Structure 1
Amino acid sequence: MTPRTRSIAQITVLFLILILSIILLFANFAYLNTQSNYDKQYIGHAGELRVLSQRIAKNATEAATGKALAFKLLSDARNDFERRWGYLRQGDKSTGLPPAPPSVRDEMESVRRDWENLRKNTDIILASEQTVLSLHQVAATLAETVPQLQVEYEKVVEILLQSGAPANQVAVAQRQLLLAERILGSVNTVLAGDDSAAQAADAFGRDAGRFGQVLEGMLNGNATIQVTRVEDADARARLAEIAELFQFVAGSVDEILETSPELFRVREAAGNIFSLSQTLLDEASHLANGFENLAGGRTLDTVGGYALGLLALASIILIGLVMVRTTNRQLRETAEKNERNQQAIMRLLDEIEELADGDLTVTVSVTEDFTGAIADSINYSVDQLRDLVATINHSAMQVAAAVQDTQNTARQLAKASEHQAAQISEASEAVGDMVESIDRVSAHAYESAKVAERSVAIANKGNEVVHNTINGMDNIREQIQDTAKRIKRLGESSQEIGDIVSLIDDIADQTNILALNAAIQASLAGEAGRGFAVVADEVQRLAERSSSATRQIEALVRTIQADTNEAVISMEQTTAEVVRGARLAQDAGVALAEIEGVSQNLADLIHSISDAAQLQTSSAGQISHTMAVIQQITAQTSAGSGATADSIRHLARMASEMRRSVSGFTLPPPAEPK
């Protein structure tokens, strides 16, 4: 076995001992920590049991006196005690606490017996919570009601004394005051729960019954108990109020008598809890002491932990000593190996000295030393470098040729870009002129649209005037026709007048003939007929005058008829002219409507032309802007072409420099083709 192998074996054994010691040490510490934590929980639960035993006793006493909050506190304390007692008996899964160890079995058994007795009494009190609270509520109400009864009965006594009531009635009322006092005292004694509580409950029932019987007798009379009816109205009103107040007392009698035994059991259970709590306190204290003694007995485990720690420390020291000895031996071997490597490195440096001067024909010798791999790598790198330099030379020549071609192309592209920029500038100017022309067309179209709109408005007004003229002519035609009808009726009336005048003329002729006959007869009569002859002459003259007037009227009627006929003819001609004028006006209205439609269409077309001109103006503006952008792009392209030509020239210079940079390498002559 070599020294190196022996050292490794020793270190391995010591490491195993160290690891085992550390594992045992941590296991011991973990065990001690866990047990210490368990001991703290055991002691904490036992201490809480001591506190809870006294809390249960206090809350039980207060619950028996009718305090509602005490029942909740008593229930919480009981449940908390039961929970912690369960942790000690069965363990706590949430914290990993196991059941109490067998070493405290006697203390656990003592606590169990006392706790079971105390819990039974606690359950009795909690089960009677409603009864106790109800009974104390009744007692509290009675404590308020009974003094009111006493006050009212004192007023009844005063009224009876003032009204001169019989002495026996006054005495009965005064005895009621004493009964009320005894009732209240009996209730308080029942609630106190002492030895006389049972007798107090019976006395309460008897006194309440007697009080109610006497109250009824004072209201209605009762010969059996020798109580007469009270007649005074004020006293009876007070007695009625007392009767209302006493209804609660009477209703509470049965409840108090029925629940008082349960209250007595609660009082007894509270007393038992008070007695057991002290015993339970002592037993819980013994249990806590047992857990503390259990924690103090773990000193041996601590000593074992210290021993394991010392063993681990000794293992570390031994490992250090072995490693120091091994390290010193390795240092000597390393120094000898470094000397051999130094000589191999110097040989390698001598061989690659020519390679540093750029001679790629050098081949480094490969030996068995560690520099052999380096020499092999150098030979491979030299081969790769030869290929790389040859490739660079070839690529540099190709790049130079390509650069020359690209430079010529860039010059042509720059010239084409300049020519394109000039053409685009001319096109931009033409587009600008076109935009100005389109703007003028748009302005003229806008003015034409306004003129067309005014033409439409004028044609519309003319159409309205023609319609109004037609309506006026229709009205004139109707009026002329009506006037012609009236003139015709006037001609017809003139014809009738002519007929009447003819009749009058006939009558005048006949009258003239009769007057002539009368004159002849009067002349034949001589003197006797002279007066009649005068009358006949007057009648004849009247007939002649009537005939003359009739002829004048007839001539006038014929004139009127002739004028009427001429007027009718003139009216008919006027009506025909009016109808013809209305027809012409209608034709003018139709023509104006057509003119209005044509003007509207013309206005719409001009609007369309104006909109199209504006759209073309906008499009031409966009085209002009686009041409400007294209001109800028062309200018940028021309500048880029110049920059590209400069870059190509720079690339040509770089290719030349690259050829010069690799010209210092010496390459082996190319192999001759076979």
Structure 2
Amino acid sequence: MNNVINQLRLAIIMLAVFAIFNLVAIYRQIDSMSSDSRIVNYAGIVRGKTQRLMKLELSSQDTGSIISELDQIIKGLIDGDEELKLVNVRDRDFQSNMQKIEQDWDKIKLTLKDLRSNPSDQNQERIIKQSEDYWDLTNATVSSAEDFAKRHVQNSKNLAIILFFANLVVLAAIWKLSQNIKLRLKKTVNILASSSSEISTTLEEQERVASQQATSVNEITTTMDELEASSRQSAEQAKAAVTAAQRALKLTEGGTEAVGETLDGMYTLEDKVGAIAEQIVRLSEQANQIGSISQLVSDLANKTNMLALNSSVEAVRAGEHGKGFSVVANEIRKLADQSQQSADKIGLLVSEIQSAINSTVMVTDEGTKTVTAGVKVAQKTNEAFAGVADAVDKVVLNNQQISLNLKQQVDAIQQVVQAMDTINKGAKETANGINQTKVGTQQLNESALDLKQMV
């Protein structure tokens, strides 16, 4: 089949190449003839404008623009000119005539220059003689231009004949190629018609098997969907259990922290109670010291009172000279009495403080025992909470593992369901594809029969 396609491509390429070749050749010939017509036209213009130039010069009119135009045309006919759309003509006769025209034109321009400076009869006769000779030369040049234009036309005719016969050869080759393709297609169509019948029979069997597979896969997919729903529900329950266990673990951790804080508080309280006991002991010691000082003050007041009493007796004995001293002695005695009273009050207060300290010592001792017992209870509670937290943590880990396993099972079941769904879709598509292939095979068989009749 590839060989047939390559042969058809070759035929198309050959036709395209010859068509392009014909187009290029014809275009070149048309362009060449167009250039030839411009050359013949401008050669005639040189002839006509030269005669017009002579008439204007003899009538003493301005001829500068005509001379410039003739210079450009003659130069363009020899070397080519893009502005005038003139090409360089390679014809030997034409180029020889154009060289002579250029030389004679230079002579005419010199004669015209002499004529303008000296319009004598001799110069006029000379310019007329040059003009007649120039006319004959330009006629010969125009004839040579027409001759090579005719040769170009004849070449175009010859090229057209050659292209015609070449096209006949190409068409004959293509016809031969088409006959070869026809024979190969006829053979291929026969094989295709036979094979399409066998393929149609095989496709019917495959269609039946694919339908059975699609039914089985559909049933398996339904079962896997139910299993996925059950596994998903178990996974959700395991996830809920993990959440509840995590909440219990958080509560346990909170209780452990609270017990820890209580235990720390109990330790602090124990330390403070011990510190209070020490302060009470020091306070008791200080109270005893105050009592001793108060007793000393009381003794000192008694002695001072006795001294003041003796001083009063001596002041009475002294008479007038002892009155001032008697007043001082009385004041000292009053102070001694007040000191005695204060010392008595202090002694009473110290007794009361000592009694209160004794009671406080007893209460503090009981508080210390209570705090110690509370510390032991808090320690046991902390240990119990630690055990509960460890147990709940293990429950959380186990539930998480169960949830992870169930999630993996759900994912695996989903993948199986997706795979079965893909297989189910593939089985359906296969059945549809087989059906379409069956229809296409029937159409192919019909087309093969039609093609066989055509071939």
Give the alignment's TM-score, normalised by structure 1. Answer: 0.34
Q: TM-score, normalised on structure 2?
A: 0.47
> Whose radius of gyration is greater, 1 or 2?
1
